[in-house]
Each structure stands twice: as C-alpha cells, then as structure tokens.
C-alpha cells in the first residue's frame, strides 16, 4: 500500500519537474557557454540533489569530471557497471575518484532478473547487441535517474554520427539533459587533460580511442573516427541511452 508520505513525495517531485525551465530556452541562453558555465547553470537551476552526471569513465571522461569537480565535486555521478567492462576501466574509475576528489559516485548494475531471463549465457551481445545494451545500460540508467530532474553527459559534436548536431541542452522526457561539451573540439579536451595533468585511461596506450564493453570494443587507428572501435562491423553506433528518452 502506498503511504501518504510517498504520495506527498511523488506530488512534490511532479510539481518540481513541472517548474523546470524549457530545454529550448536554456539552450538559447547556454548555446555558446563554456562547459563550466553550463554545469554551473544546471546546478543553479536544478539543485545538487536533483542533478546527476553520467560517466562511462572512458577515454575522454576525465575532462568532464574535472570540470564538474571544479564546480562541485559532490554532484552525484552515475557509472553504469554493465558486467562487461574492462578491468582497466574499473581501475580508472577508482583512480579518478581519488584524483578529482569526487564525493558521490554511484556504480549501477543491471537487474539480475533481466540478466537471468534474457542473457543467462552471456552471449546476447553477439546475437542482439541492442537488447544487450538495453538490459545492461538503458534500463539501469532509467532506474538510476528516477530521483533526478536533469543529467549531464559528455557527448561532443566532433564525435560525429548522431552526435554531430546535439544541442547544449535538450529535452529528455520528464528531464533535462545537459551536454556541456557539445561545442568542444578534440583540442579542447586535450588541453584540459594537459593543464590539469589528468591521467589517461590505461587502454589509450594500447590503441583504444573509445572504450565501452569488452565484447563490443576494439582498437582503432589514429586516422579513424573517435568511436570507430565501438561495435565495429555493425550499423550500430550508440548504446541507446542517448537515442531513447529516459522517461
């Protein structure tokens, strides 16, 4: 039975979300803002308790995490631990938490019931990678964001594909989605790493330009696109968390 306290909490949450500024208005005002200014605006308009940053702790993640930490290291960070990540990525997560002083990193895992029902043999990535991403990333993120009104991610237009024309702020159903690095160049990201002396992801030295789950990530040459090593040989270019609304 739902308690009156739960009902009041749900009503308060719904009221807060109905008062959110529009994505288009925020995008108009923040379209040319620096990444730090975008995060500051998100924090000011949404509040720390209702704002999350989603990070893969991948090859470019430290730049966004550094900018966020300089604004407020206590902003919640959601990390999707899919069960297929490289050990190097898990170690890198711990390295960056310590190096940047991140105070609230939440490692979210897939539902055990979903794994048993749909991927008991751990081969779903081969037969249906979209379904694999759904149960290991899309559904866990939707659950993790239930208590948040907005989230921040690290997509960049220079990554190409479906990311080539992303706005700085966009609608994500009942939530707002902030893309502080939408306008950033590869050189901008490199400059943040250099100026802050950020450690690189351990797999960069081995030729990985972008790192996701082990079965669907491969090395790429320097003249290939930033995400060339993801789902190589398939038409798939996105896991789904950015192509479907989270609510």
Residue 204 inside a domain? The answer is no
Q: At what angle do helices 186-196 and 61-71 cross, to 10 degrees?
A: 60
| Catalytic annotation, residues | 239
pLDDT digits (tens, 9 = 90+) for 85-140: 999 999 999 999 999 999 999 999 999 999 999 999 999 999 999 999 999 999 99
Tell me the CATH number at 148.
3.40.50.620
Q: Which two tokens stand for residue 93?
A: 């997560």
Number of domains in the chain: 1
Residues in the chain predicted with pLDDT less than 50, given as ranges, are: 6-7, 9-12
In three-state secondary structure terms, 53 is strand
Residue 7 inside a domain? The answer is no
Residue 166 inside a domain? The answer is yes
Residue 35 inside a domain? The answer is yes
pLDDT digits (tens, 9 = 90+) for 76-85: 999 999 999 9
Nearest to 226 by CA among 57, 60, 61, 90: 60
Cβ within 8 Å of residue 110, ≥6 positions away: 82, 83, 135, 136, 139, 140
DSSP letter for 158, please.
G
Domain that holds residue 69: 18-199
Burial of 37 (0-12, 13-18, 19+ CB in 10 A): middle
């Amino acid at each position: 039975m739902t308690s009156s306290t739960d009902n009041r909490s749900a009503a308060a949450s719904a009221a807060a979300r109905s008062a959110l500024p529009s994505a288009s208005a925020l995008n108009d005002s923040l379209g040319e803002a620096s990444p730090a200014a975008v995060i500051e605006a998100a924090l000011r308009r949404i509040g720390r308790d209702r704002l999350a940053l989603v990070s893969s702790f991948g090859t470019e993640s430290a730049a966004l995490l550094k900018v966020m930490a300089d604004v407020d290291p206590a902003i919640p960070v959601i990390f999707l631990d899919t069960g297929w990540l490289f050990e190097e990525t898990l170690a890198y997560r711990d390295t960056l938490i310590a190096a940047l002083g991140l105070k609230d990193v939440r490692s979210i895992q897939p539902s055990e019931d979903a794994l048993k029902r749909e991927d008991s043999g751990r081969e779903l990535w081969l037969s249906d990678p979209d379904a694999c991403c759904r149960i290991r990333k899309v559904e866990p993120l939707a659950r993790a964001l239930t208590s948040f009104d907005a989230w921040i991610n690290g997509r960049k237009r220079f990554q190409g594909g479906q990311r080539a024309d992303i706005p700085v702020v966009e609608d994500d159903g009942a939530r707002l989605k902030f893309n502080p690095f939408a306008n950033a160049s590869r050189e901008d990201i490199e400059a943040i790493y250099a100026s802050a002396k950020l450690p690189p992801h351990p797999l960069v030295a081995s030729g990985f330009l972008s790192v996701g789950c082990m079965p669907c990530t491969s090395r790429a040459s320097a003249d290939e696109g930033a995400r060339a090593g993801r789902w190589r040989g398939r038409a798939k270019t996105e896991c789904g968390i950015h192509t479907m609304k989270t609510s």
